[in-house]
Amino acid sequence: MTLNFNQLWRYQDDFLHGIQMTLTLTLIATVAGMLIGLLGALLSNNRLPAVRLLIRSYVEVIRNTPALIQIFLIFFVLPYAGLRLPPFEAAAVALSIYMGAYSVEIFRSGLASIPRSQIEAGQCLGLTRFQVFRHVILLPALRNIYPSLTSQIILILLGSSLASQVSAEELFHTAAFVESRTYRSFEVYAVVCAIYFVMVLSLRLIFAGAERIAFRWPTRR
Amino acid sequence: MSFVDIKNVRKSFANVEVLKGVTINVEKGEIVTIIGRSGSGKSTLLRCINGLESIDDGEIRINGEVVHDKATDLRRLREKVGIVFQQFNLFPHMTVEQNITLAPTLTKRVAKGEAARKLAHEVLSRVGLEQKIDAYPEQLSGGQQQRVAIARCLAMGPELMLFDEVTSALDPELVGEVLKVMEDLARQGMTMILVTHEMNFARNVASKIVFMHAGKVHEQGAPAALFANPATPELRNFISSTH
Ligand SMILES: Nc1ncnc2c1ncn2[C@@H]1O[C@H](COP(=O)(O)OP(=O)(O)OP(=O)(O)O)[C@@H](O)[C@H]1O
Ligand SMILES: [Mg+2]
């Protein structure tokens, strides 16, 4: 077997497009998922049992079923309910819901990691509930969940390749497309694998840098 | 009516009654020290005074205002009532200056920037820590952290300060610096209610001592008289156990 990467150069633009869409998908799922997660975490000790049950069910259903099936459900089944989404949009929605469920758990553990005494100290200084959340809880909680949250974002980036299964345009979809044109399976998947690797590595570096900037305060030894 | 008027306060957790009808009066400028065995309800009482805990019966008034009335603006009330805890409870992600100026700037007592820093500087000078204005809590000793916590309270301009065993978590050699700050406050006329195991401090600084036992005020009076002639065996035992 001889390796031949030359043919792949012609598809440079397709790869770039794939990378761009994968990153877009990851960004959408991350932002939307984190918003869902934050909201869900704040509501998960709500007074109303119905609200708590709703959030619990959401988290358990999503975390205990394959992401691929969730994408299929959104893409193939929602149309029967009258909501037809294009592949990319369907994948974005599904991944956001998926990221949301994990984020609820992550944010919940973050909120729980802040001692009651910190919240009381804020209350005793005459802060509102929102001010306590915003100024006392948020940053230390984010710091505590930063490792799990960033790992989850990376899992979403890697998992976004599942979107190719409903023909959403993203990097893995590009790979399949180029392979079908060139029949150079090994070369194509080696290149795509390397691209994922570099993307994840860069993301990790960015996360590490952001951590240094956002969380400067010294912690207990 | 007294400045702080605690009348017949009852408080239960689940089925356990912790405060069984507590009545205490505190006049403006008074230093009232609450002593008593562990579990006698001292912390619970302090937490009721600033509305951190609800009460089941009775009434607490501060400057005439009923603390547990639904119509009372607890946040506004708390700006007038500072509380310092055993564990300092400074915000770890903020510098000393930010810890001190957070509440005053959020509640619009002082503008951000220069004015806020000036306020921080001023209250820090009252606890002798101006040079630590840019430090983080983790970079300070326990005694220094507790003094910052006191300064943070002072920045709100409180009319009443509550102290819950503020020296109990400190290494012995750091207790003195915190007690000195409290003594200074007392001398400046601050109204204070404090729970402490520092009997010498209670003896020398308090205007009144309240001995709590089993959820009630068992005995109270001026320090000299109370320590010299405890009327009940419980207080006698307590005093001898603290030596
Ligand atoms: N949030 C709570 N839930 C249930 N029980 C509580 C709660 N807070 C306090 N208690 C109980 O109330 C009783 C009085 O507690 P409190 O902390 O007021 O005592 P204390 O006099 O401050 O004791 P110490 O000297 O140890 O600080 C204790 O038996 C305690 O277990
Ligand atoms: Mg206590």
- Split into its structural domains, chain B has a count of 1
- What CATH number is attached to the domain comprising B77? 3.40.50.300
Helix axes of A12-43 and A49-63: crossing angle, nearest 10 degrees? 150
Contact A163, A98 (CB under 8 A): no
Residue B38 in contact with ligand 1 by CB distance below 6 A: yes
B35 three-class SS: strand
Residue B242's pLDDT is: 80
Residue B13 in contact with ligand 1 by CB distance below 6 A: yes
pLDDT digits (tens, 9 = 90+) for A68-101: 999 999 999 999 999 999 999 999 999 999 999 9
Phi, then psi, of B107 in degrees rounded to 5: -90, 10
What count of other Cβ atoms lies within 10 Å of the Cβ of residue A201? 11
Distance, CA B40 to ligand 2 centroid (Å)?
Answer: 8
Alpha helical stretches, state H, A64-167 = 67-72, 87-112, 116-124, 129-131, 138-159
Cβ distance A215 to B50 less than 8 Å, yes or no, reads no
CA atoms within a 13 Å half-sphere pointing along the CA-CB vector of B13: 8
How does DSSP classify residue A74? I
Test mutation, A116, A124, A144, A219, chain B, max B CBs within 10 A: A124
pLDDT along chain B (243 residues), means of 10: 94 94 95 94 95 95 94 91 95 97 91 94 95 96 96 95 94 92 94 93 93 94 92 92 78
Q: Which atom belonging to ligand 1 lies closest to the Cα atom of B40?
A: 21
Mutational pocket test of ligand 1: of B9, B12, B43, B216, the residue with most ligand atoms within 8 Å of the beta carbon: B43
Domain limits for position B123: 4-241
Q: Which atom belonging to ligand 1 lies closest to the Cα atom of B53?
A: 1
Contact B61, B69 (CB under 8 A): no
Contact B60, B68 (CB under 8 A): yes
Test mutation, A125, A127, A221, chain B, max B CBs within 10 A: A125
B25 three-class SS: strand
Q: Could you confirm whether domain A9-214 is CATH 1.10.3720.10?
A: yes
Q: Which atom belonging to ligand 1 lies closest to the Cα atom of B45?
A: 18
Nearest CA to A20 out of A161, A156, A171, A160 is that of: A171
Which residue does chain B place closest to A129, by CA atoms?
B75
Residue B42 in contact with ligand 1 by CB distance below 6 A: yes
Whole-prediction pTM: 0.91
For chains A and B, count residue pairs whose Cβ atoms are closer than 8 Å: 60
How does DSSP classify residue A52? H
Cβ distance B93 to A139 less than 8 Å, yes or no, reads yes
Burial code (b: 16+ CB inside 10 Å, e: under 16) for A69-95 equals ebbbebbeeeeeeeeebebbebbbbbb
What count of other Cβ atoms lies within 10 Å of the Cβ of residue B104? 24
Per-residue pLDDT of chain A (221 residues; tens, 9 = 90+): 677 888 888 999 999 999 999 999 999 999 999 999 999 999 998 999 999 999 999 999 999 999 999 999 999 999 999 999 999 999 999 999 999 999 999 999 999 999 999 999 999 999 999 999 999 999 999 999 999 999 999 999 999 999 999 999 999 999 999 999 999 899 999 999 999 999 999 999 999 999 999 999 998 75
Distance, CA A42 to ligand 2 centroid (Å)?
Answer: 30
Q: Is A125 touching B (CB cutoff 8 A)? A: yes
Residue B54's pLDDT is: 95
- As a whole number of angstroms, the distance between CA A17 and CA A195 comes to 13
The complex's ipTM works out to 0.92
Per-domain boundaries in chain A: 9-214
